[in-house]
Amino acid sequence: MGQSHGIAIVGLGVISRAYLETLTRHPRLRIVAVADLDAERARATAATTGAEALTVDAALRHPDVETVLNLTIPAAHAEVALAAIAAGKDVYGEKPLAATLADAREVMAAAAAAGVRVGSAPDTVLGTGTQTARSAVESGLIGRPVSATATWVAAGHEAWHPNPDFYYAPGGGPLLDMGPYYISSLVQTLGPVVAAIGAASRLRSSRVIQTGPRAGEEIPVSVDTHVTGILEHANGALSTIITSFDGVRTDANPIEIHGERGSLSVPDPNYFGGEVRSFALSGEEWQPVAPSAGFEDGSRGAGLIDFVFGDRDLPRASGAIGLHALDVMTAILESARSGRRVVVESAPELPPLVPLTPSSRWLS
């Protein structure tokens, strides 16, 4: 089996639970250290994982740590990533790669200079949902792609998150929070984006927390909370994305891709699985597309496992893809501010399609 790979986790908020559930099941990963601003939370996590509860600096410099999992809030992503890189560690972070495009570029440049690697969520697009859709597009099932739509609408995370402040601060908002899932899925299926046009609005200047010990507390809103973008893909396809904290709910398919000979209905990229459906030009109804690619029964952390044990030169949940998603989102927001079409400068190499891989293999 070989020696286990040492992981340090920095940031032990809500999303860490999903990662821990996956990573503690992998026989070749060892959670060496955990760190959080809440020392008691770190101690509690350490007690259940066998890790050491340390300060952030100590966790990053632990000699048995090879990769740092950065689960901090977006505003701290770059700071922690740069510190991990300075300590000579590979770093894999939650989305977005950083709160700003400039910070993300600094992280990637620092990693290149230090000879370490950067990985980035979301890894949900490596599941059977998006990967089967990508396989269908690449096989020519719908002919030449023409367009796509991506839609995510909800009333706001203050309805369920006990500390939702960062969703409404710089680096937050519905596009930077949820957009990485949808844009990453569109990039996986249609390829990189070369330019974007955007429009945005803000319904309210404050929000009220609805759950947890701070329920009833009012928090300020300093970002746009409804964002629409039009994306120009390098292959000529046009995608339209809507993300909103100002609506209530939508019944739209999360993603639809339209081609000359058919259309695809793609499941929610916030999850790994779900049914892909197709409608042929000569057809009469939607037909299921059998899973043909992706990590089966995927869960948060699958991308980190691939980052650690897969192709070291082209990890599937790479910092380059994370940078591109942030570049696209920044272009949408810049276009919304300026009223002009904005060119997307990054052009990542897409990793290979994920073969259909049962959990017994990717978790071993």
The answer to the question of residue 363 being in a domain is no
Mean per-residue pLDDT of the chain: 97
The answer to the question of residue 136 being in a domain is yes
Q: Find the mean pLDDT for residues 211-227.
A: 97
Q: Find the mean pLDDT for residues 171-185.
A: 95
Residue 179 has pLDDT above 60, yes or no: yes
165 and 62 together in one domain:
no
Residues 234-256 pLDDT 10s: 999 999 999 999 999 999 999 99
Residues 90-107 pLDDT 10s: 999 999 999 999 999 999
175 and 72 together in one domain:
no
Instruction: Grade residue 2 by pLDDT with cuts at 50, 70 and 90.
Output: low
Q: Residues of the chain with pLDDT > 70: what percent? A: 99
Instruction: Grade residue 209 by pLDDT with cuts at 50, 70 and 90.
Output: very high
pLDDT at residue 1 in the model: 43
Q: Find the mean pLDDT for residues 144-166.
A: 96
pTM for this model (two decimals): 0.95
Q: Find the mean pLDDT for residues 252-274.
A: 98
pLDDT at residue 3 in the model: 78
**Full domain range(s) for residue 90:** 5-120
**DSSP type of residue 297:** T
∠ CA 10-184-172 to the nearest 5 degrees? 55
Residue 171 has pLDDT above 90, yes or no: no
Q: Find the mean pLDDT for residues 284-292.
A: 98
pLDDT at residue 229 in the model: 98
Last residue of a domain, one of 79, 95, 120: 120
Tokens (6 digits) for 31: 């959670």
Q: Find the mean pLDDT for residues 326-343.
A: 98
Measure the N-to-C terminal CA separation of the chain; round to a whole number of Å.
10
The answer to the question of residue 104 being in a domain is yes
Distance between CA 6 and CA 29 in Å, rounded? 6
Last residue of a domain, one of 95, 120, 145: 120
170 and 239 together in one domain:
yes
202 and 54 together in one domain:
no
* Residue 299 near residue 18, CB atoms below 8 Å: yes
269 and 335 together in one domain:
yes
Distance between CA 122 and CA 235 in Å, rounded? 23
Structural domain total, the chain: 2
Last residue of a domain, one of 88, 120, 152: 120
pLDDT at residue 304 in the model: 98
134 and 227 together in one domain:
yes
144 and 268 together in one domain:
yes
Residue 295 has pLDDT above 70, yes or no: yes
Phi-psi region of 277 (alpha: psi -120 to 50; beta: other; left: phi over 0): beta
∠ CA 47-48-49 to the nearest 5 degrees? 100
Residue 185 has pLDDT above 90, yes or no: yes
